[in-house]
Amino acid sequence: MQAIVETLELQAAVKRAAKLAAGKSTAMPVLQNVRITAAGDSVEVSGTDLTAWAHATVGGIIEHDDGPDSAIVNARLLANLVKLYPDDVACITIGGASVTIGGTALNVGRLEDYPEPCARIDRVHVATFEGRVLKPMVGRMKKVALNDKQTTRIALTGTYLRWADGVLTATATDGYRLLIEEYPATDAEPGDILVNTDELQRIAQLATAGDSVTLDATADALILTFADSTYSIRAMDDQFPDFARVVPDPRNALSTFSIPRRALLDAVTRGAIVADHVALAPEADSSILHVSSQSFDRGAFHENVRADRSLTPCDPVAFDAAHLLDVLKPSKADSVTVRMYSPMNAQRFTLEDDAVAGRLSQTWVVMPVQR
């Protein structure tokens, strides 16, 4: 096989595929390769680490011969090679023992050892995101979810996606915080999938702000398509926690109020200098929320932040300051709705007006700390 392709398109395809190829630490060296396949009038470059697959397509002039139409080559070497070519065209030739690009011949691996990709049949279209929405959404899920080195509870490393009645709900948790975001979805039959958050972020980072990203699902994979590339993430073989049981009912809140997000963020930030834990306490018959922290070695902090209404008093609730900052800092919302419950229960924070395109709602559920 010989193909003439645009160099810049080849560089982009190799970069996307190599991003999902396994690194040197893999126990399967064959996964350090990418696969080059000529089919029809295009060349597909694919890579995998067995959890996720990338398939990037480059159109060109394809000439099929008696030789092979597919080969695997080292992802790092191929990426380093193609990025050095000028901005015109490149010639790719697949021979029996090498893949030649320009004047460089790279040795090929054993094609029969390379794994087959996730099935991409019988898939259901779930939702469409702009890249500028998907990337920060996945980043927030990544902030909450644990990684493989932090836990043996595999489900806590995942992002749980559930769709029903035209709404896609994305959820992640580390057991102390729970983030729930809702976006418009298609009218597909209700379904759900749990995928590794690290893999989802690796793929989301490849999208540009202006890319239109489609999310499809099969029985065992989530499929993302954008920029002439398709990415598949294998579903995790684990059960996501039944988070509906820990999300407190808004109707049972002891005190509910909205408060300027920036003012509360500033107060929590200052309180975190004094102690790792920051307490919130509504003042009776007042619109004042007390924010406080104290430690034996650093001192004490106390500040008042004014809410939008006269508050119903309840017992002070202490939080890990870092958890509150994760709720308040990334948002652009003017205000945050706080629902406080017993100090032994999870507490609820809702940001619904932060101008994220297409997002229907964002809810954080944060477990208190016992002082």
301 shares its domain with 361: yes
CATH number at residue 331: 3.10.150.10
Distance of CA 121 to the CA centre of its chain: 24
The answer, yes or no, to whether residue 23 has pLDDT greater than 80, is no
Q: What is the pLDDT of residues 52-78, one digit of tens each?
A: 999 999 998 888 887 788 999 999 999
Is the pLDDT assigned to residue 219 strictly greater than 70? yes
pTM: 0.88
Helices and strands (DSSP H and E) totals, the chain: 6, 24
Interatomic CA distance for residues 331 and 158, integer angstroms: 22
Residue 371 forms part of a structural domain = no
Cα–Cα distance between 221 and 190 in angstroms, integer? Answer: 15
Q: What is the mean pLDDT of residues 4-21?
A: 91
- Same domain, yes or no: 267 and 223: no
Mean model confidence pLDDT for the chain = 91
Domain shared by 275 and 362, yes or no = yes
Which one has a higher pLDDT value, 319 or 333? 319
Q: Are 210 and 314 part of one and the same domain?
A: no
Residues spanned by the domain of 135: 124-244
- Residues 180 and 169: beta-carbon distance below 8 Å: yes
121 vs 23, higher pLDDT = 23
CB atoms within 10 A of CB 221: 21
- On whether both 128 and 239 belong to a single domain, the answer is yes
SS (H, E, C) 154-212: HHHHEEEEEEECCEEEEEEECCCEEEEEEEECCCCCCEEEEEEHHHHHHHHCCCCCCCE
| Count of structural domains within the chain | 3
Co-location of 252 and 353 in the same domain:
yes
pLDDT in tens, 321-368: 999 999 999 888 899 999 999 999 999 999 866 667 788 989 999 999
Same domain? 198 vs 93 = no
Note whether 260 and 286 are same-domain residues.
yes
Task: Give the pLDDT confidence of 98-155 residue by residue, as tens digits.
Answer: 999 988 999 999 989 998 876 666 789 999 999 999 999 999 999 999 987 878 889 9
99, 164: one domain: no
Tokens of 97: 């023992």
Lowest mean pLDDT among 22-26, 130-134, 214-218, 270-274: 22-26
